[in-house]
């Protein structure tokens, strides 16, 4: 047996012994454990699983031990993730800080920033949100206007931040926000942008939730009114926040797939559709079966491509182009799947609440609405197509 095989066997044995059975069932959105100052558990199994992973540094197995990680090599960290997936162990903590900001701080953060933020993330004490989009800066993110003016006051050097962010997922629950702000209004678009870390409890920060059509309200508007951000919370050089954000976005897809795992269970289309197909006329059912079969084949082809791209990423090849293809195809497939399910279910696919409909019917309807966000969040489908045209196909801009 190779060292890696031995390590895999050890990991599997530890997981079998320490992951409670209830933490190996598919997670629902309500059962997600978010890190942060409002950390709470619904039961003892959740607490045990959280604390056991935390104590091993397995919120981020590949991070250095000095910052609370597991200190494992990239290959070993991957083995931990693979075994957790294989044994259906839940993510012990959901946290944008760990998934997206952390790797960036490890790469470009100061020692002070690493100590101030990575260790609390790894203890599950800091929850993060992303402050990029603004009312007139979504796809064209570099148009953002939230300003950060550098000042020297009695407490030292700082930025005074004014403006607002929109579509901030879970902004009302977060302790900290990583944000893009404009530190130089006269510089060309991208050049005047800096990447800063903002304490959501600081004076002058206010948050207003936005309701979604799916009934869930995870979005917020965040307003900054003369918010003081100490200079030590600037990540990377001033004016070079765009490059820092690009590094961070490389981790967004992985983060979104973890979200999908808990927040948005994807249904087995065939199992859902079967009883409704049995009730349909033979002619109609034949058409739907054809469309379902085509979707299942597409999904299978996608899964195989995904495996190939994952292998390329592990071999440290540049997968930024394929990542856009994956994002585009997966989200469009999910949208198409729920569109078809709702058509097959007819009126029963449009149920919101009430005892005349099953829980599954309510879930499908809400999920159908939620998929509308998939092709927007993390960059719209059109923007992905632009990236693919430019970076993958080499077409002129
Ligand atoms: C579920 C979800 C979670 C999100 N979470 C966050 C978050 O936590 N933090 C955050 O900062 N933001 C977040 N967002 C915001 C998201 O990043 C933006 O909605 C997205 O970038 C699109 O911007 P926009 O809404 O301003 O649309 P716009 O950019 O105004 O786009 C409108 C339409 O025009 C199209 N379009 C725009 N430019 C082009 C172009 N050049 N070529 C072709 N078509 C184009 C778009 O594809 C779209 O169809 C989230 C969004 C969603 C849906």
Give me the number of domains the chain comprises: 3
CATH number of the domain at 290, please. Answer: 1.20.140.10
CA of 380 to the centre of ligand 1 (A): 6
Residue 72 lies in a domain: yes
Domain end position, chosen among 45, 79, 94? 94
Regarding the beta carbon of 218 and ligand 1, being less than 6 Å apart is answered: no
pLDDT tens-digit series, residues 258-274 = 655 555 567 889 999 99
CA of 371 to the centre of ligand 1 (A): 14
3-state secondary structure of 224: strand
pLDDT tens-digit series, residues 307-358 = 888 778 767 777 778 888 888 999 999 999 999 999 999 999 998 888 889 9
Q: Do 272 and 379 lie in a common domain? A: yes
Worst-scoring range by mean pLDDT, 16-20, 113-117, 352-356? 352-356
Q: Do 159 and 221 lie in a common domain? A: yes
pLDDT of 232 higher than 70: yes
Q: Do 270 and 387 lie in a common domain? A: yes
Regarding the beta carbon of 376 and ligand 1, being less than 6 Å apart is answered: yes
- Amino acid 176: pLDDT: 98
Domain end position, chosen among 77, 94, 111? 94
Worst-scoring range by mean pLDDT, 43-47, 56-60, 82-86, 190-194? 82-86
Residue 245 lies in a domain: no
DSSP symbol at 42: S
- Amino acid 257: pLDDT: 58
Residue 113 lies in a domain: no
Residue 50 lies in a domain: yes
- Amino acid 355: pLDDT: 87
Report the percent of the chain where pLDDT is more than 90: 73
Q: Do 135 and 226 lie in a common domain? A: yes
Q: Report the atom number in ligand 1 closest to the C-alpha of 378.
A: 17
Residue 77 lies in a domain: yes
Worst-scoring range by mean pLDDT, 97-106, 215-224, 312-321, 374-383? 312-321
DSSP assignment of 65-133, as one string?
A: GGGTS----HHHHHHHHHHHHHTTPPPS-B-HIIIIIHHHHHHH--HHHIIIIIHHHHTT---EEEE--
Which residues, including other chains, have CB under 8 Å from residue 61's CB and lie 6 or more apart?
A: 69, 70, 72, 76, 77, 80, 81
The domain containing residue 319 runs over which residues?
Answer: 266-392
Q: Do 203 and 320 lie in a common domain? A: no
Separation of alpha carbons 153 and 107, rounded Å: 30
CA of 140 to the centre of ligand 1 (A): 8
- Amino acid 391: pLDDT: 86
Q: Do 33 and 133 lie in a common domain? A: no
- Amino acid 259: pLDDT: 57
Regarding the beta carbon of 386 and ligand 1, being less than 6 Å apart is answered: yes
Regarding the beta carbon of 173 and ligand 1, being less than 6 Å apart is answered: no
Residue, of 266 and 40, whose pLDDT is higher: 40
- Amino acid 368: pLDDT: 92
Regarding the beta carbon of 212 and ligand 1, being less than 6 Å apart is answered: no
Task: Supply the residue whose CA is at minimum distance from atom 22 of ligand 1.
Answer: 138
CATH number of the domain at 27, please. Answer: 1.10.540
CATH number of the domain at 220, please. Answer: 2.40.110.10
- Amino acid 189: pLDDT: 86
CA of 278 to the centre of ligand 1 (A): 40
- Amino acid 255: pLDDT: 66
Q: Report the atom number in ligand 1 closest to the C-alpha of 373.
A: 53
**Candidates 97, 100, 133, 375: which one to mutate for ligand 1, based on the most atoms within 8 Å of Cβ?**
133
DSSP assignment of 160-220, as one string?
A: EEEEEE-S-TTTTT-SEEEEEEES-TTS-GGGGEEEEEEETTSTTEEEEEE--TTS---EE
Q: Do 235 and 285 lie in a common domain? A: no
Domain end position, chosen among 44, 71, 94? 94
- Amino acid 149: pLDDT: 97
- Amino acid 396: pLDDT: 86
Separation of alpha carbons 93 and 95, rounded Å: 6
Which residues, including other chains, have CB under 8 Å from residue 165's CB and lie 6 or more apart?
A: 131, 132, 133, 134, 146, 171, 177, 179, 221, 222
pLDDT of 12 higher than 60: yes
Task: Supply the residue whose CA is at minimum distance from atom 29 of ligand 1.
Answer: 139
């Amino acid at each position: 047996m190779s060292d890696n095989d031995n390590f895999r066997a050890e990991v599997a044995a530890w997981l079998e012994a320490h992951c409670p059975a209830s933490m190996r069932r598919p997670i629902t959105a309500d059962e997600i454990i978010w890190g942060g100052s409002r950390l709470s558990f619904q039961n003892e199994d959740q607490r045990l699983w959280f604390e056991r992973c935390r104590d091993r540094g397995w919120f981020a197995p590949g991070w250095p031990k000095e910052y609370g990680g597991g200190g494992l090599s990239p290959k070993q960290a991957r083995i931990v993730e693979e075994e957790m997936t294989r044994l259906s162990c839940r993510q012990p903590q959901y946290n944008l800080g760990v998934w997206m900001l952390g790797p960036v701080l490890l790469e470009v953060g100061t020692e002070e920033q690493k100590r101030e933020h990575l260790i609390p993330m790894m203890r599950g004490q800091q929850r993060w949100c992303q402050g990029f989009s603004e009312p007139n800066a979504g796809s064209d993110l570099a148009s953002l206007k939230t300003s950060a003016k550098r000042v020297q006051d009695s407490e030292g050097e700082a930025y005074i931040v004014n403006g607002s962010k929109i579509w901030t997922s879970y902004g009302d629950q977060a302790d900290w926000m990583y944000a893009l702000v404009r530190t130089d209004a006269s510089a060309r678009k991208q050049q005047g942008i800096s990447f800063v870390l903002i304490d959501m409890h600081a004076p002058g920060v206010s948050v207003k939730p936005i309701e979604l059509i799916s009934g869930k309200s995870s979005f917020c508007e965040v307003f900054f009114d003369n918010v003081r951000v100490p200079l030590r919370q600037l990540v990377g050089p001033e004016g070079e926040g765009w490059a820092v954000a690009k590094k961070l976005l490389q981790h967004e897809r992985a983060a979104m797939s973890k979200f999908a795992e808990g927040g948005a269970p994807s249904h087995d289309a065939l199992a859902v559709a079967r009883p409704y197909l049995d009730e349909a006329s033979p002619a109609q059912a034949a058409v739907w079966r054809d469309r379902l079969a085509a979707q299942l084949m597409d999904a299978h082809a996608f899964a195989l491509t995904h495996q190939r791209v994952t292998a390329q990423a592990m071999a440290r090849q540049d997968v930024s182009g394929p990542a856009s293809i994956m994002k585009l195809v997966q989200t469009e497939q999910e949208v198409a799947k729920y569109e078809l399910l709702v058509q097959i279910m007819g009126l029963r696919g449009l149920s919101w609440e009430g005892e005349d409909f099953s829980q599954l019917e309510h879930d499908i309807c809400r999920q159908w609405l939620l998929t509308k966000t998939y092709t927007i969040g993390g960059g719209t489908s059109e923007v992905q197509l632009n990236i693919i045209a430019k970076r993958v196909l080499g077409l002129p801009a």
